[in-house]
Amino acid sequence: SLFVGMVLLLTLNLPLAPVWAKLLRIPRPYLYAGILFFAAVGAYAVGGEALDLVILLVIGLVGLGMRRYGLPVLPAVIGVILGPAAEQQLRRALQISDGSVTGLVNTPFSIAVYAIVAVIVAWPLVHRLVVVRGRNNRKEEKEKEESGTVSGG
């Protein structure tokens, strides 16, 4: 059970905490190589196909690009983990509604949830646009004031 697992983790990790701390002294290239090795072995072991290793490589390159350009990686990781379950539930919902997409928005609760999600997704973009417009308006006002004082004086 979960309780037994937690007790085992506690009894193993407390005495081994210094060992885990020493792992941080391993040079990063060696640490990354070990992580890559175990990730590749795990990806291959799950499906037993070489395509899984290609997918691992592509996802790794996407993550590297995201990190290089300052994009958060965690949402992509969560999407990769939860994506298959979400697709399965979407298929079930579409089967229940006989393939009709309107079955996904037929209750006020679902409409409210979709509206909240839309606001959460759109908020950073809208906020950024408002801030940029405010800055531009302030710059224009400042330029008008400066040009008005220069031409008037």
63 in any annotated domain: yes
CA distance 143 to 141: 5
Is 89 contained in some domain? no
- Are 62 and 111 in a shared domain? no
Q: Is residue 120 part of a domain?
A: yes
Q: Is residue 1 part of a domain?
A: yes
| Residue that finishes a domain, picked among 23, 56, 71 | 71
Domain final residue pick, 51, 71, 91: 71
- Domain tally for the chain? 2
Q: How far apart are CA 138 and CA 147, in angstroms?
A: 14
The residue length of the chain stands at: 153
User: What domain range includes position 37?
Assistant: 1-71
Q: How far is CA 41 from CA 18, 31, 34, 37, 147, in A?
A: 27, 15, 11, 6, 68
Taking only the tens of pLDDT, the chain with its 153 residues reads 899 999 999 998 888 889 988 888 989 899 989 999 999 999 999 989 999 999 999 988 998 999 999 989 888 889 889 999 999 999 999 999 898 888 888 899 999 999 999 999 999 889 888 888 888 888 888 777 777 665 554
Task: Please check whether residue 91 lies inside any domain of the structure.
Answer: no
